[in-house]
Structure 1
Amino acid sequence: MSKHFIPLPLTNVLADGGYSASVCLGSQLAKVNLIIDTGSSTLVVHENRYQGMHDTRLQSTSLAQQVSYGVGGWFGSVVHTRFNILDVSVDDMPLALVHHEAEHSFINADGIWGMAYHSLNRSYDMSEYLTANAIAPPATYPWPFPENDQPQFPLPEFQSEASDFKQLIHGLPEQDVATAFTLMEQQGLVSNRFAFIAHRSSIHHAKANMTPESLALDPLNQGMLILGGDERLSQYFQGEFTDLKVVHDRYYNVNLLSLSLAGGAPIKLPSALEAQLSRGSSNAIIDTGASLVSLPSQAFTQVIAELSQTVPQAAKLLAPFIGDINKVTQAQSQGIAMSELNLALWPALEFHFEGAADGRASLSCPAECYWQLNSPAPGRAVFKLMGQLAGWPAQSILGLPLLNPYFVLFQRDSGEFGTVRFAAHRQKS
């Protein structure tokens, strides 16, 4: 086992509560801020700070990628260049350069570092198409297709552009692209595991009119990604681990058996089979790139109903946050008056999983995690659960609110597909 830990400081200021780390790319060591996302696998960068045309180490390929997220997406070229973090470098790192994207796909970050498995990192070999159209050399960078002066599109327009691109690549040979973390592990730079620490899912505003630089200095807006991290990092956690079984190596796929209000009756979740999910999938994924927890419609409705029965005025307080993604997004940007909330009245939510060992493993999401105080402004609060995304299957997206109470260890080298381990944060003295 490698003893080389690579600790990367994280901030949630650039991605509306999502956590990003700084890395350097290319011959010019261009610094870029990438969202740490276990819900995708691609290393993708927008050409704002990193400009490939000035990178003498860049090697173009005939590959292109198109990726859609729960909200947002992009398509563009696959290139290879140098990738640097702290004193560690990989000289031939594949990454995607965005040509077109849906607005706000990266918020104020420069891209995404996908930490999931390689089968999600699919590309299309366009060499035959490029040769047939007399494009020499047959490479996707610089982008060889008809230009549009608008690199960012509102979501409906982007979906149209993406649909056209999908038609172009339909039937072309597919090729998995090696993921950044896997390459680092294969080169012996780190062991095949990493730790993730984050305390919030929304930016904490201690006072009004704070600059991004001031917000980033708030410890509540900071986190840590420790590549190669393992159980020896006891300075960050306390107590025993709760171990969840990873049941497939696409996302960090887990089986969510039920959830409940603390002390309440279980709310059953549809299994992968009942949800008609693809073979080899599961009914839940662990997603550091999601700033909310998204539940299947029926389960979400039942959670809201039980909260409304348990907590005085809950129905009124929750109403702004219940609806489609546009309503949820608007509510997250406005919040409600914090003075209306008494978190002591709100029960913890308990999530019950298939454990790594035989039996059930449970995690707790306290009210201070599924509600975020002092966000999006001082004295405001936002609710961090939502229902099923349009076009998304009945698969729970277990984002930051569930992860925030824990030191989370993604132990990819344990069991058939891996184990995700949770231990309580060590309290600072």
Structure 2
Amino acid sequence: MVKATKKAFLPKSMIAPQATPNIRSAAAALGGKISATTVRMPITNVLNDGDYSGKIYVGSKRVEVDVLLDTGSSTLAVDGHVYDPTKDSAAKLTNIGQEIGYDDGSRWVGGIVLTDISVNSAQPLVLPKVHTAVAYHATKSMFGLSHGILGLAYTKLNDAYEMPGPTIPPHYTYNQIQTGHVTHVEPYFSQLEATGLVANKFAFYTLRSMVSMATAKPKSDPLNSGFLILGGGEEQTDLYTGTFQVARVVHDIYYNVNLKSVQVGKSAPIQVLPPTKASGNASNAIVDSGTNGIYLDKPVFKEVLARFSSLGLEDEFHAGYLPMSKLKLADWPVLTFVLEGALGSDVTLHVTPQTYWQTNAPKAGHASLVFYTGDSPSILGLPLMNNYFTVFDRSVNKGRGVVSFARIT
């Protein structure tokens, strides 16, 4: 769920033991840090139509909130219908308000309080005085069946407005918020790592980009579950195999990467141009956990579609939704994405038909194509990550970070 900006970027557990020394990440060559404490947070995709959420605990009463986990935005927001800061002895009101919109059209308006945020119910990792937005106006589709969002991108995306008076209880409208003095607030994860409690990295283990409806109880289907690792990644050796490939992040707004080419099966690679100065884009692609598809910009998508057409797959591709009895996955090619590497060699990532076609979705016996076109930059969402254990290491590359990929087990 890439955050919509006012510039031309886009129009969406358990405490782990001491990290093991046998780390198989090339990011170590860049000086990446390993934390003695990591949090393995169980996550699920059933509350947000394929996007993943995890549980946090808010305030002195530890109100349980399921939050959408999004590397395409930076704000921590909770639904004001679920959490009431006036009943939280840990909460400190502020005069800071936020109105945040996302590329899918969802948005919310709220006020910021400072309060305690905990992760992990058994052995809580508690961070006090976290900038927490309490949303009191939101579009109907904003939170889905969860009750908040946890953005994991950088501070520059977490813009806010200083108002003449307290922003809780709610009384400022969208237009009034816009008249405030522009400021930025430090995101949750940035606050967490600054304390030294965890290293400046996190990782995702996911298997799906849409909810698998293969069983009558999708909540208990392991395909719909995964993990967010706070403070680590490479030490979670049960979640991946082999070595990591390390992609360079080129800007500290989103996780901006340079997409060099896309290849359909064994056809000639399609070269991807860098962004023009006029576009205002920091790169030609973004890695985003909050998008449950792959969106290629129009010129690249057009060339990809031509390759599928040459294989006789155009009709099924355009349909985008088929009974599984009519979908022959063996006829569909592997897609290869080449990203600029951080260690001198390119990163080559394969997206299989089993991930860009989501079977048993949105209902049993049917399959949905999660491959689309959109404006530049391209968004490399969950279908790419579903093939790889994906580590976002922000401690290297002069603070911009790297994104590392190793095959999931």
CA distance in structure 2 between the aligned counterparts of 1:17 and 1:169, rounded to whole angstroms? 32
Of residues 110, 114, 136, the one that matches 1:99 is 136
Of residues 377, 380, 385, the one that matches 1:403 is 385
| Secondary structure of the corresponding residue to residue 246 of structure 2 | strand
In the alignment, which residue of structure 2 is the partner of 1:161? none
CA distance in structure 2 between the aligned counterparts of 1:23 and 1:341, rounded to whole angstroms? 39
CA distance in structure 2 between the aligned counterparts of 1:144 and 1:345, rounded to whole angstroms? 57
CA distance in structure 2 between the aligned counterparts of 1:95 and 1:120, rounded to whole angstroms? 15
| Correspondence 1:222 to 2:225 | yes
Of residues 170, 180, 186, the one that matches 1:143 is 170
In the alignment, which residue of structure 2 is the partner of 1:88? 125
| Secondary structure of the corresponding residue to residue 397 of structure 2 | coil
| Secondary structure of the corresponding residue to residue 182 of structure 1 | helix
CA distance in structure 1 between the aligned counterparts of 2:96 and 2:272, rounded to whole angstroms? 39
Of residues 182, 191, 211, the one that matches 1:203 is 211
Q: Deviations over 1:26-68 (max 9, x none)?
A: 1221101001100000001112322223222221111111111
| Correspondence 1:273 to 2:276 | yes
In the alignment, which residue of structure 2 is the partner of 1:124? 161
| TM-score normalized with structure 2 length | 0.87
| Secondary structure of the corresponding residue to residue 37 of structure 2 | coil
| Secondary structure of the corresponding residue to residue 274 of structure 2 | coil
CA distance in structure 2 between the aligned counterparts of 1:139 and 1:305, rounded to whole angstroms? 56
User: How far off is 1:260 after superposition?
Assistant: 1.2
In the alignment, which residue of structure 2 is the partner of 1:134? none
Q: Deviations over 1:281-328 (max 9, x none)?
A: 111111001111111112112212211221x3x22222234xxxxxxx
CA distance in structure 2 between the aligned counterparts of 1:32 and 1:287, rounded to whole angstroms? 22
In the alignment, which residue of structure 2 is the partner of 1:361? 347
Q: Deviations over 1:150-185 (max 9, x none)?
A: xxxxxxxxxxxxxxx2x5344632221111111111
Q: Contact (CA 8 Å) 2:99, 2:177: kept in 1 or not?
A: no
CA distance in structure 2 between the aligned counterparts of 1:95 and 1:275, rounded to whole angstroms? 35
User: How far off is 1:268 after superposition?
Assistant: 2.6
Structure 2 portions without partners, runs of 5+ = 1-33
CA distance in structure 1 between the aligned counterparts of 2:43 and 2:177, rounded to whole angstroms? 36
CA distance in structure 2 between the aligned counterparts of 1:269 and 1:103, rounded to whole angstroms? 37
Q: Deviations over 1:67-103 (max 9, x none)?
A: 1111111121111111111211112111111122222
Q: Contact (CA 8 Å) 2:96, 2:163: kept in 1 or not?
A: yes
| Secondary structure of the corresponding residue to residue 248 of structure 1 | coil
| Correspondence 1:189 to 2:190 | no
Indicate the percent of aligned positions where both proteins have the same amino acid: 36
In the alignment, which residue of structure 2 is the partner of 1:304? 305
Runs of 4+ in 1 over 4 A off after TM superposition: none
Q: Contact (CA 8 Å) 2:35, 2:232: kept in 1 or not?
A: no
CA distance in structure 2 between the aligned counterparts of 1:44 and 1:422, rounded to whole angstroms? 29
Structure 1 portions without partners, runs of 5+ = 128-137, 147-164, 322-334
In the alignment, which residue of structure 2 is the partner of 1:238? 241
Of residues 389, 397, 402, the one that matches 1:415 is 397
Aligned alpha-carbon RMSD (Å): 1.5
CA distance in structure 1 between the aligned counterparts of 2:209 and 2:181, rounded to whole angstroms? 39
| Secondary structure of the corresponding residue to residue 387 of structure 1 | strand
User: How far off is 1:373 after superposition?
Assistant: 0.4
Read off the aligned partner of 2:169 and give its amino acid letter.
P
| TM-score normalized with structure 1 length | 0.83
Q: Contact (CA 8 Å) 1:19, 1:35: kept in 2 or not?
A: yes
